[in-house]
Amino acid sequence: MARAATTSDVFNAIAEPQRREILVLLRAGERPVTEVALELGITQPGASKHLRVLREVGLVRDRREGRQRLYDLDPGGLRPVHEWVGGFERFWNQSFDKLDAYVQEMARAEKEE
């Protein structure tokens, strides 16, 4: 099966580690592409390409300020990831609850011995 284009959805876009690093940088607020490139140690064209992908899937937004384009995190774009991960969070919470019950039962059994 052919792999989907990186711009097709949020999951494909964030599969790239440098794009995830960009999202982490943008949590602190708006940044120009030159600053993103400098922080990540990549070229400005490389940073621009990653930012374009993130913008196209709705994870970042941009605005012009003079001659610069500033990029900012668009947290609403992370909703599909949050919802998907949430299913696993429920799984892990249930697993930990079962483990806790087992440990408590083992402790009770040890006290009775």
Tens digit of each residue's pLDDT (9 = 90 or more) over 24-53: 999 999 999 999 999 999 999 999 999 999
Q: Where are the beta strands (DSSP E) in the chain?
A: 31-32, 60-65, 68-73
CA distance 12 to 7: 7
User: Is pLDDT of 71 > 90?
Assistant: yes
State the pTM of this model.
Answer: 0.75
User: Is pLDDT of 7 > 70?
Assistant: no
Rounded mean pLDDT of 3-21?
A: 83
Rounded mean pLDDT of 48-61?
A: 96
pLDDT band for 3, please (50, 70, 90 cuts).
low
User: Is pLDDT of 6 > 70?
Assistant: no
Question: Helix, strand or coil for residue 63?
Answer: strand
Quick check: 47 and 33 in contact, CB under 8 A? yes
CA angle 19/33/40 to nearest 5° reads 50
Task: Give the pLDDT confidence score for residue 55 in this predicted structure.
Answer: 96
Tokens for 1, please give them. 């099966």
